[in-house]
Amino acid sequence: MSAAELTLYSLASALFFYFLFTFLNRNRKTLPPGPRPWPVVGNLPHMGAMPHQGLAALARKYGPLMHLRLGYVHVVVAASASTAAQFLKTHDANFSSRPPNSGAKHMAYNYQDLVFAPYGPRWRMLRKICSVHLFSTKALDDFRHVRQEEVGILTRALAGAGEKAVQLGQLLNVCTTNALARVMLGRKVFHDGAEKGDPKADEFKEMVVELMVLAGVFNIGDFVPALEWLDLQGVATKMKKLHKRFDTFIGDILEEHKAKVGHRGGDSHGHTDLLTTLISLKDDCDGEGSKLTDTEIKALLLDLFTAGTDTSSSTTEWAIAELLRHPKVLAKVQLELDSVVGRDRLVNESDLTQLTYFQAVIKETFRLHPSTPLSLPRMAAESCEINGYYIPKNTTLLVNVWAIARDPEAWVEPLEFHPERFLPGGERPNADVKGNDFEVIPFGAGRRICAGMSLGLRMVQLLTATLVHAFDWKLANGLAAETLSMEEAYGLTLQRKEPLVVHPQPRLPPRAYI
């Protein structure tokens, strides 16, 4: 059979199963409202170029609980805080696994990572390892010095940049990656400095951004299995090529580390790095009774290197951009920092809890610019009822975090950057971003909440506070702050479409940067 005949056969099969699927489902219980699907591809064309924005627009028409059919797959979208709470709190256990998708298959070692692993014993084992050895309060406190040292290195590099404009996001990414690498591997992976960059760091950021873009694509093959082999969008091919690059990067790190395990047990402060711990757990697996394989170790490192670095750096970049656009807010933050920290030293993590107004700024940044605007998909283990509507078994759930945080029913002037809303007397004075208040859930909520939330919060707060305290900022090329573009780029994570290019101007005495 020729390629053309195979293609025609696939299309004919897809049409047959579409009409069969439609016939079998026409007398089912009442599904949530939603736009009428197209033949074969369903509602995929309704997603738009920016799915979180497209779905938000659809929710304004069809309501906060919406049903779509992507190919043959039932999909429900939650676009309000109360609806999200139904899925992620009341019915959390039923929606704790992930649906099949090409990203997990081709890039995340065929579902062997933490992010996409099916809900069950292996996922719990991986989650426990990260929670105990990397994200626990003790682990975070033990490696506080690493984060402060790496932020200090970034600060000195920026202070020495002179009149040179810098692309802030790239430098932030180097800082967050090196800080995480020192905890994970006991060493840095990139060179530092604003004057001379590291080509490997540039390549790594490009790889991470490409991964997030590919992971955010709604791949037709995931929803119309008969068309999967055609790879109509070329997504699977790109994923496989990118996976090889990441596998080489991570595999080299793992093999090098194995060779050194017998010669180095910890860092200069006496702490053992995560990879050494993972290698030591290969036969014991932290008491869980099953072995941890090399592939699972590499998959875990992939999650941490991607989800744990660029999300923090991009959120910090959004925060600085918002403060540049709101000079009165920036002045208030600097005044508070000068009062609490003084002007003779840089910010320490121990200062952060005393910075009330600054904490409100960080919450407002997470509200307007959640690092994952459209939640990673979950899947219904069993049929259930939500708000009077029938949700079939195996339905995919998407929570539109971006839309919830901009819901005019929940927020006053939701599109405005207004940190005072989180202060006493504001509309949400006691709200947090840790999954308890569903109006603002940048890290998700429930069992599959972001495992690295605590580290992400500390890193974003420390980076942003240090940059605001240590520098005044001017936009490159004489650009006026009010004209700064805040347009978003497409992807699983919320990147700026135009990188923030700035001139850092030291505002503290020279001795503070030493």
Write out the chain's pLDDT in tens, 514 residues.
555 555 555 555 555 655 555 555 554 689 999 999 999 999 999 999 999 999 999 999 999 999 999 999 999 999 999 999 999 999 999 999 999 999 999 999 999 999 999 999 999 999 999 999 889 999 999 999 999 999 999 999 999 988 899 999 999 999 999 999 999 988 888 886 554 567 888 888 899 989 999 999 999 999 998 889 999 999 999 999 999 999 999 999 898 888 877 555 444 444 578 898 888 877 665 555 457 889 999 999 999 988 888 899 999 999 999 999 999 999 999 999 999 999 999 999 999 999 999 999 999 999 999 999 999 999 999 999 999 999 999 999 999 999 999 999 999 999 999 999 999 999 999 999 999 999 999 999 999 999 999 999 999 999 999 999 999 999 998 899 999 999 999 888 999 999 999 999 999 999 999 8
What b/e sequence results for 135-170 when a residue is b if at least 16 CB atoms lie within 10 Å of its CB, and e otherwise?
A: beeebbebbeebbbebbbbbbbbbbebeeeebbbbb
Rounded distance between C-alpha atoms, residue 248 and residue 250, angstroms:
6
User: What pLDDT is recorded for position 1?
Assistant: 58
Which of 6, 276, 265, 304 has its CA nearest to residue 126?
304
Query: Coil, helix or strand for 247?
Result: helix
What residues are designated binding site?
450
Rounded distance between C-alpha atoms, residue 382 and residue 265, angstroms:
46
Rounded distance between C-alpha atoms, residue 428 and residue 423, angstroms:
7
User: What pLDDT is recorded for position 291?
Assistant: 76
User: What pLDDT is recorded for position 451?
Assistant: 94
| Unique residue bearing structure tokens 């790190």 | 253
Q: What are phi and psi of 471, to 5 degrees?
A: -140, 150
Q: Which CATH superfamily is domain 31-513 in?
A: Cytochrome P450 (1.10.630.10)
Structure token pair of residue 479: 């650009």
User: What pLDDT is recorded for position 485?
Assistant: 96
Rounded distance between C-alpha atoms, residue 242 and residue 285, angstroms:
29
Structure token pair of residue 332: 């208030």
pTM, two decimal places: 0.90
What residues are designated binding site for heme?
450
Q: Can you give the residue ranges of every domain in the chain? A: 31-513
Strands 73-78 and 396-399 turn out to be parallel
User: What pLDDT is recorded for position 393?
Assistant: 97
Q: What are phi and psi of 290, to 5 degrees?
A: -145, 155
Rounded distance between C-alpha atoms, residue 370 and residue 493, angstroms:
8
CB 275 within 8 A of CB 257: yes
Rounded distance between C-alpha atoms, residue 23 and residue 33, angstroms:
18
Q: Which ranges of 308-437 does DSSP label H, i.e. alpha helix?
A: 310-325, 327-341, 356-368, 401-404
Rounded distance between C-alpha atoms, residue 340 and residue 355, angstroms:
7
